[in-house]
Structure 1
Amino acid sequence: MGHLITLATSLNQWALDFQGNCDRILQSISIAKSRGATLRVGPELEIPGYGCLDHFLEGDTVLHSWEVLAKILGSEEVEGVVCDIGMPIIHKNVNYNCRVIIYNKEILLIRPKMWMANDGNYRELRYFTPWTRHRQWEDHYLPRIIQAVTGQTKVPFGDAVISTLDTCIGVELCEELFTPASPHILMGLDGVEIFTNSSGSHHELRKLHRRIDLIKEATQKLGGVYLYANQQGCDGDRLYYDGCAMIAVNGDIIAQGSQFSLNDVEVVTATIDIEDVRAHRIRSSRNMQAASTERYHRIEVGFPLSSGKFREVQDVFEEGLEVRFKIRYHTPEEEIKLGPACWLWDYLRRSRTQGYFLPLSGGIDSCATAVIVYSMCNLVAEAANRGDKQVIADARRIAGEPSDSSYIPSNPREFAGRVFHTCYMGTENSSAETRWRAKELAGAIGSYHVDMNIDTVVRSIHDLFTFVTGFTPRFRVHGGSDRENLALQNIQARLRMVTSYLFAQLLPWVRGRDGGLLVLGSANVDESLRGYLTKYDCSSADLNPIGAVSKVDLRKFIIHSREYFDLPILESFVNAIPTAELEPITETYVQGDEVDMGMTYDELSVLGRLRKIEKCGPYSMFTKLVREWGSVFSPIQIAEKVKLFYFEYARNRHKMTTITPSYHAENYSPDDNRFDLRPFLYPARFPWQFKKIDQVAAALPDRSRKGPGQDKTKTE
């Protein structure tokens, strides 16, 4: 019974943190060796961090990456284990995203990435050039700092594989798994038995299923061992890399790491029998294809990955190989609970600030943001109770404890009271219900809460305008125009932002502590998409944990959190009607978000997905919705909804240029910051497109269940 010990690692790397990244890489190698591993794989671009962005264009980033690699090569930790390490390399004056395969202080191969991620959040072609010479290689001359360590002058650079005494290893990088003709197919047909994949794959709700399906499929028909390593944590931007390192054999996942964790280093190992791969591949059709495939250059090395010693079946059984592994998935509600919470913790500890400040309005959006921060505190408490030294050290520093303190953040409510600050900023238009909900929620999660009114500040701005102009603006319910009504709402919203930053800077001082707080925003993805927010209001903040989460998913998250965290107060938020509370409440009028927007949140989610994911313009969106919504709305009603959406989207698009950096969770986010690259000055009435929609809508039959002019049921 031959065997290999293989592993994948998830590292919480940080862009440009070369010292920290180096320490975490060496720690992961040490853990791997302690478990008897002979092959260690790390995440993509792990030496500089994946999120360096335009810093990849700087020579310093490449230089420091070589310096770190020299330190790793010179370490005793790398002896006796093959290490697959990621960094940028300039070859013949061309910048490549590479894997460097090392063994016993020598470089065996530099394998450049061949297919780049260049859509959505990724712009790899901005920084790197793909290696297009498939199955070809050439010499790369090493810098002197590496020559001094390895004694090598040049090493193979290109699309090749490593042939050990007992197996063959091939490299695949992140996006290459997602391409239609993935390299592992041809490598596997040419006898490669172990595939490594080093990724920088970000978290999106419901995305893990796709990733796991691709990893399983990679070896299901082909046969082989697949080692998947992914970065975990906030690398310095909007994305959270959700780890979940995996090892698959012949289409089955046999080991899986955590998807959300506060760990800086996590190593996943499994023991496999390479003979299982060979038995799986003995099929006539596979062999016919393999016999005619093109050959890869093999870099032959004189060592095995397996020890060659026979192991008892019982030993393997105890390691779990004979028991079918059960893949762990999180529900979307759990993903919202965990992903943004881990992201917030990384941001808080790395920004070296003293906590978060949140304007708590009593509505479901700020409620969801508060619960996510409480989830962060809960994760910190769980890690501290497990004895995680790094989490405890970070928590002590953030909480203002001295370095020699014995403080342990073992209780999430107590820790929240130290690092989380909430504030209800009411006006004469606020209701007693929202004030009560905010106060009760703050008490339930333990945040340091401030309850106040800002009417005097609002009136001072109002009186200033009247003094200067001689005109007194009034709300619509008091006889004012729509322009006056909107301006008076915006005064309140923008003053809340100014007040938030004042309190965020000075509350720690009030409490006898140093430093300041980061302000959290709480505008959801649908409101941003529709532009239903005031520019530079309290949606303007330092960070927004829910900026790419839909209202529909937020409601499900709150329902889940009520039970999970035992917070009965959350029930009142779920049942509350969404309202901005910026207009006076009368006997006949209460402001409602969905009425103001002219569409429901359910409808907004559908419109957003069609716009971004299915790449619909106004006319194609209308034609799709006629089929999807035709039994609920008439063609003319659908036309009006589409036209209203695009009109409001276009005239509010400029707000996205200043939107708060948001945790990325949905791939229909309108975030203008690198993800949604669309103009912000539009012909907002789309005269050509809307005219065509009107013409077609008027000619189509009405298939809705209710006649024209009647109220329609909301669509999902």
Structure 2
Amino acid sequence: MPQYVTLATCSLNQWALDFEGNRDRILESILIAKERGAKLRVGPELEITGYGCLDHFLENDIYLQSWEMYETILKDERTYDIILDIGMPIIHKNRRYNCRILSYNGTILLIRPKIFLANDGNYREMRYFTPWLKTQYIEQFKLPNLIYKLNGQEFVKFGDGVIETLDTVIGFETCEEMFTPQSPHISLSLDGIEIITNSSGSHHELRKLNTRISLIVEATRKCGGIYLYSNQRGCDGDRLYYDGSSMIIVNGQILAQSSQFSLNDIEVLTATIDLDDVRSYKSLISHGLQSKFSPIYEREFLNIEISPEGNKFDLSLVPTSIKEVKYHLPEEEIALGPACWLWDYLRRCKGNGFFLPLSGGIDSCATAMIIHTMCKLVIKEVQNGNLQVIKDIKQVLKIEKDDEIPKNSEEFANLIFHTCYMGTVNSSKETRDRSLRLSEKIGSYHINLNMDIVVESIIKLFEITTGKRPIYKIFGGCQIENLALQNIQARLRMVLSYLFAQLLPWCRNKQNLGGLLVLGSANVDEQLRGYLTKYDCSSADINPIGGISKNDLIKFIKWSREEYNFSILDEFINATPTAELEPITENYLQSDEIDMGFTYNELSIMGKLRKIDKCGPYSMFIKLTHIWKDYKSVEEIADKVNSFFYYYSINRHKQTVSTPSYHAEQYSPDDNRFDLRPFLINPMFPVGRGKINKFLIDYRNK
């Protein structure tokens, strides 16, 4: 006879330190799960505090407020008759732990601390928390007084245990533990645990989701069982966007998958599963033999059945069928991830819109198209009756009535998105025209200006003060004059951006809106090479493309051209990338790739070798001799490597003030969170360069 259980997992858009908002989203997800008949509900990692609290986790207030919020959930009788798996930080014996609290009907059953902490890349969990390395070990935890006053419960089991009901056993794995070589799900499965939950705070990177899904699928395909994966969603206060994609997997097959990118703050997945299918799948001789040597978990018994009415067969229950995995193209990820991140940022910082210097190049074009995607997503949710989005759009626009809400994305963009072409004598008619026509397509409030008078006034001031006037290289000036003249234009654009961002709403008689958030648009390859001016218009409030490569941005614009039928985008794709900071003559047009000494494709490859493969100069040189062997000589490769590390080093200081950027790529040079290399480095790398030179000498003498 089948033994059906209905289980729930969810994606929640939590916000760091938004205790009451986080609590309310947790409660709503529990009620939705109950309404759908679920007997177990799993939520994201650290869902009460929000995952991205960072050094706030060192503050004692966090732990007190977490218990206060948890107590309001525990005493709410609407949350009864369902097992709750809720994540929050806990202090035990003066040590801080990242924990999961299991409860039923107002009683805490077990506190399960995280065993393996995420401590690389964007994560610093060891800075705040202690790992619980005593696997399969349980001790007593003294509950705070507010819990004792609520239900008379004084102690609870704390450690690596499991929960056994009358009809199944539930075990636990938390985020990073799934990615480790000795993942707990292996020993849990061998000890007869049939349902494993995983609360996660996994962020979005381009092309990363398939790795996450393959790990979960393979875990249950190898071990059998039910896996409930719950992941945080949204921007909870930093550069990361947590991309949902919560899942329910059984025996290597996906039954449910939540959206990867969505403006819905709450998404609950449920599935009905036959426990007999799990038991049949796990009844392999090899499993039985290996379980002889596997650890044994201490069980906390819960005297309930989570299958309906015991073992009675219920025709109204229909087992959930297998679903096909949903993957987005990388181009779609670029459109949707930063768009959702920008909306979260705008609504949560109480902002009223964005300002973007629209240069006519592909980077600012990509940023504008991401805003266009955001506007479309918001209006679509309004049309779908999403009450949270309707509330947020009213807050952003400072309106009260429903009939004041824009009817389409272009109307919405005209109210919140302001673009500006900041031209000089060095700017071309083509880039000015492209900017204007793109702004007309997306609906932004656009202005054209010529800033030559401002540039000239600065140069004149310098000339009067020093008696010398710098001139461009093509007119006979030296390199330092040439750079100084370019940097004046770039830095003045930053100053003008903030001036216009602050006053444009006032100019439009919308004083109640306040200022605008200034958007940067430097891509990850330019930041890696340092091909930007410190405190130029790459300096902004946030940058949605700062973690995305030029190659991916071009693919995104090609996708956008088809998705939105914008023929104007062809001109951006085919244009030569140029900063337009030097005079254009009959024989000269400034080119980004020529100025940098690298193609964007070369920078992308070298950036991945530097960060992901952790290569220094010599090891990168050796790898590139194989990668580029068909179209570059070893001498050319050596020059490229030496030049890359030189410019990377002398420009490293620029990363200390880089605009906070959406994290999308594993070779991001952002030293604020992701890349902790120093900014004072010997740019010559004498030992590495010496090894490369010796290799060249030996190679020539062969």
Is this contact kept in 1: 2:195–2:227, CA < 8 A? yes
- Structure 2 gap ranges (5+): none
Q: Deviations over 1:583-608 (max 9, x none)?
A: 00011110000000001000000000
Q: Choose 569-578 or 302-311, whichever is displaced more.
A: 302-311
1:709 is matched with none
SS of the counterpart of 1:382?
A: helix
1:602 is matched with 601
C-alpha change, 1:450 and 1:655, in structure 2 (3 Å) is same
2:503 is matched with 506
1:261 is matched with 262
Which residue identity does 1:299 align to in structure 2? E
1:572 is matched with 571
Q: What does 1:171-182 correspond to in 2, within 5 Å? A: 171-182=172-183
Q: Deviations over 1:454-473 (max 9, x none)?
A: 00000000000000000010
* CA distance in 1: counterparts of 2:146 and 2:609, whole angstroms: 52
1:88 is matched with 89
Alignment match of 1:439 (pick from 432, 436, 441) = 436
2:160 is matched with 159
SS of the counterpart of 2:299?
A: strand
Q: Deviations over 1:622-655 (max 9, x none)?
A: 0000111111111110000000000000000000
* CA distance in 2: counterparts of 1:275 and 1:50, whole angstroms: 36
1:591 equivalenced with 2:593 (yes/no) = no
* CA distance in 1: counterparts of 2:222 and 2:594, whole angstroms: 53
Is this contact kept in 2: 1:359–1:366, CA < 8 A? yes
* CA distance in 1: counterparts of 2:70 and 2:394, whole angstroms: 33
Which residue identity does 1:398 align to in structure 2? V
2:360 is matched with 362
Which residue identity does 2:434 align to in structure 1? R
Which residue identity does 2:632 align to in structure 1? F
1:326 equivalenced with 2:324 (yes/no) = yes
Residue 132 of structure 1, CA deviation = 1.0
2:10 is matched with 9
1:190 is matched with 191
* CA distance in 2: counterparts of 1:670 and 1:334, whole angstroms: 23
Residue 130 of structure 1, CA deviation = 0.3
Residue 316 of structure 1, CA deviation = 1.5
* CA distance in 1: counterparts of 2:701 and 2:583, whole angstroms: 39
Residue 698 of structure 1, CA deviation = 3.3
2:664 is matched with 665
Which residue identity does 2:287 align to in structure 1? R
Residue 406 of structure 1, CA deviation = 2.7
SS of the counterpart of 2:359?
A: coil
Residue 314 of structure 1, CA deviation = 8.0
Is this contact kept in 1: 2:197–2:229, CA < 8 A? yes
* CA distance in 2: counterparts of 1:150 and 1:379, whole angstroms: 45
1:316 is matched with 318
1:480 equivalenced with 2:480 (yes/no) = no
1:234 is matched with 235
Q: What does 1:125-140 correspond to in 2, within 5 Å? A: 125-140=126-141
C-alpha change, 1:702 and 1:23, in structure 2 (3 Å) is farther
Residue 292 of structure 1, CA deviation = 3.1
* CA distance in 2: counterparts of 1:163 and 1:702, whole angstroms: 72
Is this contact kept in 1: 2:4–2:317, CA < 8 A? no
Residue 566 of structure 1, CA deviation = 1.6
Which residue identity does 2:560 align to in structure 1? S
C-alpha change, 1:363 and 1:156, in structure 2 (3 Å) is same
Residue 701 of structure 1, CA deviation = 6.4
Q: Deviations over 1:221-244 (max 9, x none)?
A: 111000000000001000000000
1:676 equivalenced with 2:675 (yes/no) = yes
Is this contact kept in 1: 2:204–2:663, CA < 8 A? yes
Q: How many residue pairs were aligned?
A: 698
Which residue identity does 1:152 align to in structure 2? Q
* CA distance in 1: counterparts of 2:637 and 2:250, whole angstroms: 50
Is this contact kept in 1: 2:272–2:317, CA < 8 A? no
Which residue identity does 2:504 align to in structure 1? L
Is this contact kept in 2: 1:635–1:698, CA < 8 A? no
* CA distance in 2: counterparts of 1:636 and 1:215, whole angstroms: 45
TM-score by length of 1: 0.96
TM-score by length of 2: 0.98
Is this contact kept in 2: 1:355–1:517, CA < 8 A? yes
* CA distance in 2: counterparts of 1:293 and 1:680, whole angstroms: 48
1:350 equivalenced with 2:348 (yes/no) = yes
Residue 532 of structure 1, CA deviation = 0.2
1:406 is matched with 403
1:340 equivalenced with 2:341 (yes/no) = no
SS of the counterpart of 2:403?
A: coil
Is this contact kept in 2: 1:636–1:698, CA < 8 A? no
Residue 408 of structure 1, CA deviation = 3.2
Is this contact kept in 2: 1:429–1:585, CA < 8 A? yes
Residue 167 of structure 1, CA deviation = 0.1
Q: What does 1:421-500 correspond to in 2, within 5 Å? A: 421-500=418-497
Alignment match of 1:386 (pick from 384, 387, 394) = 384
SS of the counterpart of 1:95?
A: strand
* CA distance in 2: counterparts of 1:437 and 1:460, whole angstroms: 28
* CA distance in 1: counterparts of 2:340 and 2:313, whole angstroms: 40
* CA distance in 1: counterparts of 2:360 and 2:403, whole angstroms: 36
1:49 equivalenced with 2:50 (yes/no) = yes
Q: What does 1:41-120 correspond to in 2, within 5 Å? A: 41-120=42-121
Is this contact kept in 2: 1:630–1:702, CA < 8 A? no
C-alpha change, 1:266 and 1:640, in structure 2 (3 Å) is same
Q: What does 1:505-544 correspond to in 2, within 5 Å? A: 505-513=502-510, 514=512, 515-544=514-543
User: What is the CA RMSD across the aligned residues, in angstroms?
Assistant: 1.2
Is this contact kept in 2: 1:634–1:702, CA < 8 A? no
* CA distance in 2: counterparts of 1:501 and 1:211, whole angstroms: 40
SS of the counterpart of 1:316?
A: coil
Q: Deviations over 1:279-300 (max 9, x none)?
A: 0011111111113322110001
* CA distance in 1: counterparts of 2:577 and 2:563, whole angstroms: 24
Which residue identity does 1:348 align to in structure 2? L
Residue 691 of structure 1, CA deviation = 1.9
Which residue identity does 1:170 align to in structure 2? G
Residue 312 of structure 1, CA deviation = 5.7
SS of the counterpart of 1:700?
A: helix
Q: Deviations over 1:354-398 (max 9, x none)?
A: 100000000000000000011000100111110001111111221
Q: Deviations over 1:663-710 (max 9, x none)?
A: 00001000011210001011111222212212202333699xxxxxxx
